[in-house]
């Protein structure tokens, strides 16, 4: 037993680390012999490439792709993640091999939030996912329902315009710069809570009620809990050091469910009295029996909509406004179109969209250069599959670098230039059929609310451009606006864009007439 004597002086954690290191090396050796994996940076034992990945991951992966190619292996601890960065490989992942790559990897936090995949976003591909997806596409996000809810979107956008107008013409504030993000966030928050819950938690004076404060705190707590386990999720032996805070997750889930059930009960009583509306909560409660939807699934779907829709809209519009301030030529051209179609005696509505092709191109170009989720949520291989001639073993994750694809010089002419005219020259689908432009994903996992998101982004941009001329703060060169991204799953601007808004229309067109829907 002498060969064990050197180990006797080591602590249990050290022995565990050595064991895991040896296991990782053996796993790598077996994988390299059994599979032809894509090339990639050399991983460290146990941690893989975690310490090599720069904070803004999609930029880091795009840089690595320049060296290793458009498909590469990146190890998150002991888990293989394959990153693809070209339209052709995206087509393979999202169309040709879509069925084998339609599952989702769930971390401990996402498993808790989704009740082990009882929602839509984190559900594995199977009967449950197909059923819930059917509810979304055939019932919730239909053209008829989106049109029925149009007044809500337009109401919130005109409220934003009124707020900006008051701030830029009030005594002593004329010519002062505004933080654009502050106004966009209110639209996104109020719009999604009204669409999902039929609730506007903020009154006309901008004061939030108690239920609204509870809602915002639940959202903030969920984000905090989800981010607290990032490293431990990828390295199993770290989990004893960062145990799942069962009590915190349970408390958070109970608060979320309590608030959601209270709102669901309000809508149930309204339906019974014959005064139900077209909001998503009403639709889901009406369809519950027909589609055999559990309460967990209804709650999960409502919060999927909130999670997916609250930040991404505001993020997309802020990036677009930053580009329009940096590119006054594009801003002026969009305003010329708006003036020609709408004039100066009324405000824009969504019914005007078909006659505003350049505005639509501006929206597309902003989403091309600045997709709100630059790395698609990971797809998990349910079986061994080949992509680009390489083996993707069952259980591996596949990430599509949407940001890199949209800036690929082999796919786009002058890819770094903000030039909406490219979409007048070529009709490019934005909802999953052209694999050069994938802000909403594609295939079985394409975002079912893509049209809703497009409508709101285009409406916000149209109103901002029609009502105001936008310029950088005095003394700031437009080209010097910081366009760097904050690290994270979604691409917030590192520094919120500031601008001077100058009204372009008669004063009476800046007053909101609230709707009660």
**Binding site residue list for heme:** 447
The SS3 call for residue 449 is coil
Buried b / exposed e along 417-431 (16+ C-beta atoms within 10 A): ebbbebbeeeeeebb
Cα(125)–Cα(145) distance, integer angstroms: 26
Cα(508)–Cα(517) distance, integer angstroms: 23
CB 505 within 8 A of CB 466: yes
CB 450 within 8 A of CB 364: no
User: ∠ CA(228), CA(232), CA(233), 5° rounding?
Assistant: 90
Strand partners, 499: 178
Token pair in block for residue 121: 């976003």
Cα(199)–Cα(213) distance, integer angstroms: 13
User: ∠ CA(396), CA(399), CA(400), 5° rounding?
Assistant: 145
Cα(162)–Cα(232) distance, integer angstroms: 46
Cα(48)–Cα(234) distance, integer angstroms: 9
The number of CA neighbours under 13 Å toward the Cβ of 151 is 10
Token pair in block for residue 458: 């285009």
CB 390 within 8 A of CB 36: yes
Residue with tokens 């146990």: 46
Cα(68)–Cα(74) distance, integer angstroms: 11
Cα(120)–Cα(142) distance, integer angstroms: 17
Cα(301)–Cα(119) distance, integer angstroms: 5
CB 483 within 8 A of CB 493: yes
CB 278 within 8 A of CB 149: yes
The SS3 call for residue 498 is strand
Phi, psi for 178 (deg, rounded to 5): -110, 150
Longest C-alpha distance within the chain, in Å?
Answer: 93
């Amino acid at each position: 037993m002498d060969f064990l004597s050197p180990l006797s002086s080591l602590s249990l954690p050290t022995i565990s680390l050595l064991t895991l290191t040896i296991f990782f090396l053996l796993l790598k050796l077996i994988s390299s012999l059994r599979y032809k994996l894509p090339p990639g940076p050399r991983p460290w034992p146990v941690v893989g490439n975690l310490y090599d990945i720069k904070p803004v991951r999609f930029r880091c992966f795009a840089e690595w792709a320049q060296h290793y190619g458009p498909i590469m292996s990146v190890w998150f601890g002991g888990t293989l993640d394959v990153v693809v960065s070209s339209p052709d490989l995206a087509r393979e992942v999202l169309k040709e091999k879509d069925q084998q790559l339609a599952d989702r990897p769930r971390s401990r936090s996402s498993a808790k939030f989704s009740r082990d995949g009882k929602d839509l976003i984190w559900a594995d591909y199977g009967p449950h996912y197909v059923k819930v997806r059917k509810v979304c596409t055939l019932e919730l996000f239909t053209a008829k329902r989106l049109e029925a809810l149009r007044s809500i979107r337009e109401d919130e956008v005109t409220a934003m315009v009124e707020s900006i107008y008051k701030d830029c013409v009030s005594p002593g504030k004329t010519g002062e710069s505004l933080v654009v993000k502050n106004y966009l966030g209110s639209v996104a928050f109020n719009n999604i809570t009204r669409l999902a819950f039929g609730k506007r938690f903020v009154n006309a004076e901008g004061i939030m009620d108690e239920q609204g404060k509870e809602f915002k705190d639940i959202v903030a707590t969920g984000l905090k809990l989800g981010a607290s386990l990032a490293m431990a999720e990828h390295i199993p032996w770290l989990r004893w050091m960062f145990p799942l805070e069962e009590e915190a997750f349970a408390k958070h889930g109970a608060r979320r469910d309590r608030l959601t059930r209270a709102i669901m009960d309000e809508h149930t009583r309204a339906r019974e009295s014959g005064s139900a509306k077209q909001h998503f909560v009403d639709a889901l409660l009406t369809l519950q029996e027909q589609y055999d939807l559990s309460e967990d699934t209804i709650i999960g779907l409502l919060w999927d909509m909130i999670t997916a829709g609250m930040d991404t809209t505001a993020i997309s519009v802020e990036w677009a406004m930053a580009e329009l301030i940096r590119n006054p030529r594009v801003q002026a051209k969009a305003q010329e179109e708006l003036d020609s179609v709408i004039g100066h005696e009324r405000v824009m509505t969504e019914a005007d969209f078909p006659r505003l092709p350049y505005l639509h191109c501006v929206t597309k170009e902003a989403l091309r250069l600045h997709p709100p989720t630059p790395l698609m949520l990971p797809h998990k291989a349910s079986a061994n599959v080949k992509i680009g001639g390489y083996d993707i073993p069952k259980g591996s994750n596949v990430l599509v670098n949407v940001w890199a694809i949209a800036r690929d010089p082999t796919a786009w002419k002058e890819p770094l230039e903000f030039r909406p005219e490219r979409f007048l020259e070529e009709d490019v689908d934005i909802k999953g059929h052209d694999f050069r432009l994938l802000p909403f994903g594609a295939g079985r996992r394409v975002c079912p609310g893509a049209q809703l998101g497009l409508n709101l982004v285009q409406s916000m941009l149209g109103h901002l451009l029609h009502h105001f001329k936008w310029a950088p703060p005095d003394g700031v060169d437009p080209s010097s606006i910081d366009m760097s991204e904050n690290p994270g799953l979604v691409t917030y601007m590192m520094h919120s864009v500031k601008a001077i808004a100058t009204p372009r229309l008669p004063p009476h067109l800046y007053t909101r007439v609230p709707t009660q829907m």
